Amino acid sequence: MIKTPYTVDVRDLMHRPGEMRERVIDVTVPEEFGNAMIGVKTGSALRIDLRMESLHDGILVSAEVDGTAAGECGRCLIDIEQAVQVEFQELFAYSSDEAFEYEVHEDTIDLEPVIRDAVVLSLPFQPVCQEDCLGLCPVCGVRLLDNPGHEHETPIDPRWATLGDLAGLEGQSGQEN
């Protein structure tokens, strides 16, 4: 098995039901994960508070993961950061069995897929810089929160534009008389 920053040695817990260990792991994220708008970037720090309990079937891992996700607001496109705090509990089985999704490999467990799944599922699909973000002006693209009184001249409906041209001609003919 390839050792990653998420790999935890469980040799002292294996096949010892009732044993428990707590550990804190600080991981520098080697590979970005998230969605198109927001994610935990490469080089970011994750703090993982682990509680590992040995059972007859495997090792029960309970964890709290804290970190920061970065991305952009889905409405106004400015850069944002959001705290990530997730908890999970997963059993790493000693033997391959369809009932268990994760396994103990040799004398280690790999927390990466569990952490990745928990963090990605906790991220918003459409992150916003603030709940009442107004987004961008559809005409000129200015950020509306920075310019609260921002307005444009009401565009003339193209179906009525010809009448406006006629009104201009009438005014000219009236001045000549």
29-60: pLDDT as tens digits = 999 999 889 999 999 999 999 999 999 888 99
Banded pLDDT at 154 (limits 50, 70, 90): confident
d(CA 29, CA 39): 11
- Domain range for 69 is 7-122
Q: Report d(CA 143, CA 125) in Å as an integer.
A: 21
Q: Is residue 8 a contact partner of residue 109, using CB atoms and an 8 Å limit?
A: yes
Q: What is the mean pLDDT of residues 118-124?
A: 94
Any domain includes 159: no
pLDDT band at 1 (very low <50, low <70, confident <90, very high): low
Q: Please, are residues 56 and 80 in contact by the beta-carbon 8 Å criterion?
A: no
pTM tops 0.85, yes or no: no
User: Which of 119-147 are b and which e, b meaning 16 or more Cβ less than 10 Å from the residue's Cβ?
Assistant: bbeebeeebbbeeebeebeeeeeebbbee
* Confidence band of 177 (pLDDT split at 50, 70, 90): very low
Task: Give the other-Cβ count within 10 Å of 112's Cβ.
Answer: 17
Q: Number of folded domains in the chain?
A: 1
Residue 16 placed within a domain = yes
| Of the candidates 96, 80, 100, the residue with the CA atom closest to the CA atom of residue 37 | 80
Interacting residues of 161 by C-beta distance below 8 A, sequence separation 6+: none
In a domain, 129, yes or no: no
Domain-located, residue 162: no
Give domain status of residue 69, yes or no. yes
In a domain, 173, yes or no: no
> Which one, of 69, 29, 70, 71, lies nearest residue 48 by Cα?
29
Please give the single-letter amino acid code of residue 161: A
C-alpha torsion angle, residues 27, 28, 31, 34 (rounded to 10) = 70
Residue 46 belongs to a domain: yes
Cα 12 to Cα 10: distance, rounded to the nearest angstrom:
5
Residue-wise pLDDT for 75-116, tens only, equals 999 999 999 999 999 999 887 766 677 888 888 999 999 999
Between residues 157 and 124, the one the model is more confident about? 124
- Whether 55 is in a domain gets the answer yes
**Burial (CB count within 10 angstroms: exposed 0-12, middle 13-18, buried 19+), residue 5:** middle
